[in-house]
A and B are shown apart, each in its own frame.
Chain A
Amino acid sequence: MKILVCISHVPDTTSKINFTDDKKSFVTQGIQYIINPSDEIALARALELTEKDGGTVTVINVGDNSTEATIRKALAIGATDAVRVNAAPRDAFFVAKQIAEYAGKNSFDMILCGRESIDYNGSQVPSMVAEMLSLPAVNSVKSLNVEGSTATLDREIEGGKEVVTCPLPCVVSATEGMAEPRIPNMRGIMSARTKPLTVIEPVTAENMQQIVSYDKPQPRTQVKLIDAANVAALVDALHNEAKVI
């Protein structure tokens, strides 16, 4: 099987998020970058599937050269080769167009993405790629198995799951449960240095949106502590003060 895994390069989950004074941009100083958590899950499952049945795993990232360490990490974890589309990701449509362009020319059996990127949280890229390539897609997938040319998947729904089948090729977005993320070992790290990382130039895409400004949520006022011996006071406060029960 030939699998394409889309990885985005995002601030570490422990990052404190800050913006410039004009609120226009995100302060990247002091931020550690990682492979987006659900993309790590997708990558791990892609490796399991190809280890079992043979095949290759190509990772793709749309990003400027600051993402190369993140891409090398994916190679160290076990991807066969990598592609970087040399452009800062402007919006989901732009990113999807780059991935669809590359995938369209290099017939993959499956395009695996993460459920959402933890920076812009769009959950947009996977379905956009699918639509651009006229492929079926299954999102928020907790379990993925492939038999011949059919995938069987558990998709997350409100309060449960749905079991679906889908013919290959298809686009799948991964969430918790699909696989355990892998940590690169020494041999992986050594071999990642010599694995192919191809840089390609972006195709043009229409610009239909821009971020006007960022804001942080209002901090909460000081917590009101209630004595553990007087739980009734909490119920009273929730009813009469907060008015939520």
Chain B
Amino acid sequence: MNILTYIETADGKLKKSALEILSYGAAIASQTGGQLTAIAIGDVQADELAKAGRYGAAKILHANDDKLKQYVGQAYATVVAEAAKNVQADVVVLSNSFSGKGMAPRIAVKLNAAMADGAVALPDTGNGFKVRKTAFSGKAFADVELTSKTKIVTLVPNSYKAVEQAAAGAVETFSPQINDGDFAVKVKEVVKASDKISLPEAEIVVSGGRGLKGPENWGMIEELASLLGAATACSKPVSDTNWRPHSEHVGQTGLAISPNLYIAIGISGAIQHLAGVSSSKTIVVINKDPEAPFFKAADYGIIGDAFEVVPKLIEEVKKFKAANS
């Protein structure tokens, strides 16, 4: 099968999730005897385009029209659909990110393709094309069979490991047809905490709940997160009361994440919270109530007062880092 991956970039560089979908696309291509093409849109550094080759793309298309500098879902979807036709892609892979989720359904309609969103593993291509995806907000998985000729898959960040190879791909300029009608949405402003690690892509997440009593106590959460190179998250009541921004809210009605390590501090572990974090590989719970339901869903637990335990944990992580650097 021929695979096309749309690789997202930030500030001209490939995102971590882009490396993951390249490796994922390369694996499907080699599993089925096809070729992987990547497409990047907008300003991307030349060495970053070349890097896509080392993660499995035989060919890297770069669409760099002036109009395409900023993400507009409708226009980007047109570009990717055109590229898919051009390289006769059987499967188009995108990240299950905000942008990916905006574009993929449009590409599916344009290519009359079935779509599996939120894939968490390589498809089974032995007999047909079956993909495992998340369902019921992390409470379950569904194996979905896609029977259309062309297929669209969006991959959950952190669910497939990026692997660098000793290979190179050819970079080509791609000049798609530009339809003015695709640019109805105009970006006025981007507000971003750029020094922060993106929550959906983070390998480690430190999360706080109502047990932390108030926004003034988040200093230690941020300190622990920055020591671990982690993103910060929170439970729903914490963002509902504006202690923390809504973009940090994880759970069934917030973001669903699957980091390698999730550290939950002062969070009770309600079913709606667990739904969004239960696919984390390792879960640590710090809670003063031994009966907190989160302990049943954790790998490691400390029963204790967060205001005593977290400062100690910060000290221990500092010691660990000093010893291991």
- A interface residues with partner B (beta carbon < 8 Å): 11, 13-14, 16-17, 19, 26, 37-38, 91-93, 96, 118-128, 130-132, 134, 136-140, 142, 152, 155-167, 170, 175-177, 206-217, 220-221, 223-228, 231-232, 234-235, 237-239, 242, 244-245
Contact = CB atoms under 8 A, between A and B. Distances in A.
Given A163-B189, A223-B299, A216 B77 contact: no
**Helix, strand, loop or mixed for chain B's interface?**
mixed
Given A118-B137, A137-B74, A208 B181 contact: no
27 contacts: A13-B271, A17-B140, A96-B109, A121-B117, A121-B135, A121-B256, A122-B117, A124-B108, A124-B117, A127-B104, A130-B74, A130-B106, A136-B184, A137-B102, A139-B73, A208-B113, A209-B114, A209-B147, A214-B143, A217-B141, A223-B300, A227-B302, A228-B303, A234-B316, A238-B300, A239-B320, A242-B282
B252 interface: yes
A112 B243 CA distance: 28
A136 B74 contact: yes
Given A161-B190, A208-B147, 5 more contacts: A121-B118, A162-B187, A224-B301, A231-B312, A244-B261
Nearest to A239: B320
Interface stretch (B22-30, B36-44, B159-167, B195-203): B195-203
A245 B261 contact: yes
Interface in B268-325: 271-272, 275, 278-279, 281-285, 295-305, 308-309, 312-313, 315-317, 319-320, 324
Contacts of A122: 105, 115, 117-118
B143 A215 contact: yes
Interface residues of B, number: 101
A63 B228 CA distance: 47
Interface of B: 73-74, 77, 97-99, 101-106, 108-110, 112-118, 130, 132, 134-148, 181, 184-194, 196-201, 203-204, 228, 239, 246-247, 249, 252-254, 256, 260-261, 271-272, 275, 278-279, 281-285, 295-305, 308-309, 312-313, 315-317, 319-320, 324
A121 B137 CA distance: 6
Nearest to A134: B181
Nearest to B187: A164
A19 B247 contact: no
Nearest to B74: A136
A128 B105 contact: yes
B233 to A, nearest CB: 12
**Helix, strand, loop or mixed for chain A's interface?**
mixed
Contacts of A244: 203-204, 260-261, 281-282
Nearest to A216: B140
B186 A164 contact: yes
